[in-house]
Amino acid sequence: MSQRVVILLGPPGAGKGTQATRLGAALGLAHVSTGDLFRENLSKGTALGQKARGYMDAGQLVPDQLVLDMLFDRVSKSDCSKGYLLDGFPRTIPQAEALEKSLKAGGAQVCVLNLRVPDALLLERITGRRTCKSCGNAHHLKYSAPKVEGRCDKCGGELVQRSDDSAEVFGKRLQVYREQTQPLEAFYEARGLVRSVDGARNPDQVFQDLQSFAKEAA
Ligand code: AP5
């Protein structure tokens, strides 16, 4: 059976991580987030984490070759053998081309789900996000406030603000998204693979649409 690859596209704060956790479980696909992989490397103090830190803190993209080596290593693991759900990758045309080349040989089935959210809402989501230091779960001070202040509902870990979640760095991340990542919409539209979803609604409504589009595409 060919591999199934679902790509979640969308600007910073669109809800990719929130939806990917749930969608991956519903579709039986491993959730692969390049942002989470870099943060894991950072917290373990690896050489890769050290190289990525400056780019992430400045809201810039990590250079393609570092991302590609890390990504292809991750998707070669056994939990990805039937397929995987990509969150935060690809982010540039060269990344998309490299992925396409690697998937061509196996004849993978690809579906791209694009989350659309207005800029003002993105800023509110990013600056109000608090992330668990232990398990990475994201809360929001207004939209999904933790039951105990400063503590993750899932594991009780400490909630912190990501160093790139300031209004200033968000502005840079959004600019980088417009310049380098948004062109991927046209890249995948030309291949007839994109379904766009209104990500400004509540998470359950967004999830229902994502799930049905992913199932239709299967
Ligand atoms: P990454 O971690 O991928 O960040 P991002 O793409 O900017 O996305 P975010 O994690 O900020 O947002 P999200 O869409 O996942 O939103 P979330 O669900 O948390 O990348 C970080 C950095 O790593 C990059 O800047 C770059 O430096 C580097 N990097 C990573 N991948 C790379 C690559 N491929 N190439 C090069 N560099 C790379 O939601 C946000 C908040 O909103 C949360 O608080 C959540 O609770 C809330 N929320 C979500 N959905 C809703 C809803 N429907 N209603 C109300 N609140 C909601």
Is residue 16 flagged as an active site residue? yes
CA distance 2 to 94: 24
Q: Are 87 and 115 spatial neighbours (Cβ–Cβ below 8 Å)?
A: no
Sheet holding 129-132, edge to edge: 138-140, 129-132, 159-160
Among the listed residues 16, 39, 125, 130, the single catalytic one is 16
Is residue 172 flagged as an active site residue? no
- Tokens, residue 134: 């232990």
**SS3 state at 110:** strand
pTM of the model: 0.97
Which residues approach ligand 1 with their CB closer than 6 A?
A: 10, 12-18, 34-35, 38, 55-56, 59-62, 67, 88-89, 91, 95, 125, 129, 138-140, 143-144, 164, 173, 202-203, 206
Q: Is residue 90 part of a domain?
A: yes
- Tokens, residue 121: 């809402």
Which is more confident, 62 or 217? 62
Question: Is residue 1 scored above 90 in pLDDT?
Answer: no
For the chain, the domain total comes to: 1
Q: Is residue 64 part of a domain?
A: no
pLDDT digits (tens, 9 = 90+) for 54-98: 999 999 999 999 999 999 999 999 999 999 999 999 999 999 999
For residue 25, what are the domain limits?
4-29+82-118+180-217
138 C-alpha to ligand 1 centroid (Å) = 10
pLDDT digits (tens, 9 = 90+) for 111-167: 999 999 999 999 999 999 999 999 999 999 999 999 999 999 999 999 999 999 999
Q: Is residue 9 part of a domain?
A: yes
Q: Is residue 60 part of a domain?
A: no
**CATH (domain of 89):** 3.40.50.300
Q: Is residue 141 part of a domain?
A: no
What pLDDT sits at residue 122?
A: 98
The mean pLDDT value for 43-62 works out to: 96
Q: Are 157 and 151 spatial neighbours (Cβ–Cβ below 8 Å)?
A: yes
Q: Is residue 164 part of a domain?
A: no
Cα 30 from chain centroid (whole Å): 13
Report which ligand 1 atom has the smallest distance to the Cα of 115. Answer: 14
Dihedrals phi, psi of 212, to nearest 5 degrees: -70, -35
100 C-alpha to ligand 1 centroid (Å) = 23
Q: Is residue 209 part of a domain?
A: yes
pLDDT digits (tens, 9 = 90+) for 9-23: 999 999 999 999 999
Q: Is residue 69 part of a domain?
A: no
- Tokens, residue 41: 């490397």
What pLDDT sits at residue 106?
A: 76
Is residue 39 flagged as an active site residue? no
CA distance 130 to 45: 22
